[in-house]
């Protein structure tokens, strides 16, 4: 996989161009472009970095610098269902660590672990802005709030 080239789909090129149009130069579109790349490729490979750099007229080093600065870009394939558990204070006070341990055990994964079948990956995350509806988990882009152990069990069992 590491030798194959990465090219954006024509629809995604169009989306990237829309992002570029928001700014006086191309570089600021890098964050959105990386999201689009991650959506298409599953993660940010070296080939993705090269292609993003070419399109946005940046150096690969600058793109890599952005990728590594932010926690939401992944440099390895993650699970189809990326489970994020918040354990920061407000969640912790309402059982965040119980849920973290429950999910860890259920999936047999540690922080940033990926299951062998690539179905699940797990991440302990910082405050997600759900402190008033704590505890919470997120599965990919979706928040699940006001959780109990039973609800967490149900959510994970429902993931295909």
Give 37 or 125: the residue with its C-beta nearer to ligand FES: 125
Q: How far apart are CA 35 and CA 44, in angstroms?
A: 9
Q: How far apart are CA 50 and CA 23, in angstroms?
A: 21
**CB 113, CB 121: distance < 8 Å:** yes
- The entry of another protein, ligand FES, none near residue 22 (CB within 5 to 8 angstroms by kind) is another protein
What are the backbone angles phi and psi of residue 76, rounded to the nearest 5°? -140, 160
Give 25 or 117: the residue with its C-beta nearer to another protein: 25
Binding site residues, ligand FES, CB under 6 A: 86, 88-91, 127-131, 134, 136
Binding site residues, another protein, CB under 8 A: 22-25, 27-32, 34-35, 56, 58, 62, 65-66, 69-73, 87-90, 92-94, 125-134, 138, 141-143
Partnered with residue 85 across adjacent β-strands are 124, 137
Give 79 or 135: the residue with its C-beta nearer to ligand FES: 135
Give 48 or 85: the residue with its C-beta nearer to ligand FES: 85
The least distance separating ligand FES from the CB of residue 129, rounded to whole angstroms, comes to 6
The least distance separating ligand FES from the CB of residue 75, rounded to whole angstroms, comes to 25
Q: How far apart are CA 99 and CA 92, in angstroms?
A: 9
The residue among 82, 87, 21, 84 whose CA lies nearest residue 56 is: 21
């Amino acid at each position: 996989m590491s030798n194959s080239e990465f090219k954006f789909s024509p629809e995604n090129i169009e989306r990237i161009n829309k992002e570029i149009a928001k700014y006086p130069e191309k570089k600021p579109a890098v964050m959105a472009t990386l999201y689009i790349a991650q959506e298409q490729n599953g993660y940010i490979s070296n080939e993705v970095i090269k292609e993003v750099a070419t399109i946005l007229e940046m150096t690969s080093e600058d793109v890599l610098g952005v990728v590594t600065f932010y926690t939401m870009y992944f440099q390895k394939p993650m699970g189809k269902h990326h489970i994020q558990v918040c354990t920061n204070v407000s969640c912790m006070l309402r059982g965040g660590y119980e849920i973290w341990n429950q999910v860890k055990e259920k999936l047999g994964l540690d922080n940033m672990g990926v299951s062998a079948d690539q179905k699940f990956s797990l991440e302990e995350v910082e405050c997600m802005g759900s402190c008033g509806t704590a505890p919470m988990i997120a599965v990919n882009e979706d928040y699940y709030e006001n959780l109990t152990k039973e609800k967490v069990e149900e959510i994970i069992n429902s993931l295909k």
